[in-house]
Amino acid sequence: MADRLLTVRDLVIDIPVGGGTLHAVRGIDFELDRGEVLCIVGESGSGKSLTSLALMGLLGKRIKPRATQMDFDGTALLSASKKTMRSLRGARMSMIFQEPMTSLNPAYTIGDQLMEAMLLHRDVPRAEARARAVELLEKVGITAAESRLGQYPHQLSGGLRQRVMIAMALMCGPELIIADEPTTALDVTIQAQILRLLVDLVREMGMAMILITHDLGVVARVADKVAVMYAGELVETGPAKEIFEAPMHPYTRGLLRCIPLPGKTKRGSELGTIPGIVPSLVGRVSGCVFRTRCTFATEACRGDIPRHLRGPQAFRCVLDDGGLSQEKQEVQA
């Protein structure tokens, strides 16, 4: 029996805009067990960051998310009081943002910021919080941790700042970490180091992690489970191995063909593309949103879209094989 930590059913996020309602996220379902890493992958405007903010209760006053169920370890997040949410945030679930420079307050030392969450949530003496901060800084690979506590964010490099952010997120020993593009602003070598560190820590401490990214490489290397998001819907979900080796949804397949694979894609050859652009989600949205860019689109795509299950993998498409057989015929022809 898996140890379920998070269950989300039919999450809807509508944003009021000038000319109507932007249906940014429309009825997504997912769940997460302790010790698991879920990657939500999607392009800009797919609603992946909104989803994470909804989980943390950080969407702001204007936007009210709805869901039939959104439970974190038995607590219904949507009906929870502000006080309950505050006691969850930073303590049992914490978030790592993309830009470490703007998420650290330049006016306070690293030490103050690290200890803040712990002093706020746990009734512990300062010395204990300090000891914990030093321990975590060492854990995230920062040398001379003791002396770093007195430094200010601007004195650290981008990679170091992101490590501090991770340490900060871990201070209260959270059960869930949500990382929104945690390495996008970093150089490749640093990115690999930070991701490795995150994954190791998650495994070691038995936490669960939701990693939000647009980088399929990151997803493949980090995820246990993958959720592919397009224009506010989860078009395909499943274990990482299945998603990458046997992608079913036309969008997932299209995305994977867009990136050159060193050693596999012929150098200088034409890369796959997904023509067209993401449709506007203002106003009534029905049927499959990918139909405007899909090569297999038919009249049926405007109606209700069935969900197909293939073992642990699930995808939404009118074609029960996601157009795979059609594609094979075209290749042969």
Partner 1 sequence: MSDAMTDPLLAEIVGPTPGQLLRRRIFGHQGLLIGGTVVALLVLVAIFAPLLAPHDPYAQSLMARMKPPVFLGGTWEHPLGTDHLGRDYLSRLIYGARVSLMIGLVAAVISGLIGSVMGICAGYFGGKVDAVVTFLINVRLAMPVVLVALAVVAILGGSLTVMVSVLGLLLWDRFAVVLRASTRQVREREYVAAAKSIGASTPRILLAEILPNIVNNLIVVVTLEMAHAILLEAALSFLGLGVQPPTPSWGLMVSEGKNMMLFEPWLVMIPGTVLFVLVLGINLMGDGLRDVAAPENRS
Partner 2 sequence: MTAPVLELRNVVKTYSVKQGLMGRPKPLTAVKDVSLSLGRSEVLGLVGESGCGKSTLAKILLGLEAPTSGEVLVDGEALGAQDRLKLARRIQPIFQDPYSSLNPRKSIADIISLPLRVHGIGDAASQKQAVREILDVVGLPSRVMNTYPSQMSGGQRQRVAIARALIMKPEIVICDEPTSALDVSVQSQILNLLGELRREFGLTYLFISHNLAVVEHLATRVAVMYLGRIVEEAETGDLFDNPRHPYSRALLKSVLTPEPGLGVPDTQLGMAYPNPINPPSGCAFHPRCPLATELCKTRAPRPVPQDGGFVECHLYDRETEMFEQA
Residue from 24, 149, 177, 219 that binds partner 2 (CB under 8 A)? 219
Least separation in angstroms between residue 293's CB and partner 1 is: 10
Strands 176-180 and 208-213 come out as parallel
Least separation in angstroms between residue 284's CB and partner 1 is: 7
Site mask, partner 2, residues 120-159, x = CB under 8 A?
---------------------x---------------xxx
Residues near partner 1 (CB under 8 A) are 18, 277, 279-280, 283-285, 287, 289, 291-292, 297, 299, 302
Residue 245 within binding range of partner 2, rule CB under 8 A? yes
Within residues 67-86, the interface with partner 2 by CB under 8 A covers: none
- Cα distance between residue 143 and residue 160, in whole Å: 10
45 versus 158: smaller Cβ distance to partner 1: 45
Judge contact between 248 and 315, C-beta under 8 A: yes
Residue 35 within binding range of partner 2, rule CB under 8 A? no
- Cα distance between residue 130 and residue 128, in whole Å: 5
Residue 218 within binding range of partner 2, rule CB under 8 A? yes
Q: Which does 125 bind (CB under 5 to 8 A by kind): partner 2, partner 1, none?
A: none
Least separation in angstroms between residue 275's CB and partner 1 is: 12
- Cα distance between residue 207 and residue 5, in whole Å: 10
- Cα distance between residue 296 and residue 277, in whole Å: 16
- Cα distance between residue 222 and residue 279, in whole Å: 30
- Cα distance between residue 278 and residue 292, in whole Å: 8
Residue 39 pairs in a beta bridge with: 211, 226
Q: Hey, what are 254's tokens?
A: 């299209």
CA angle 223, 228, 232 (to 5 degrees): 135
Least separation in angstroms between residue 19's CB and partner 1 is: 10
279 versus 312: smaller Cβ distance to partner 1: 279
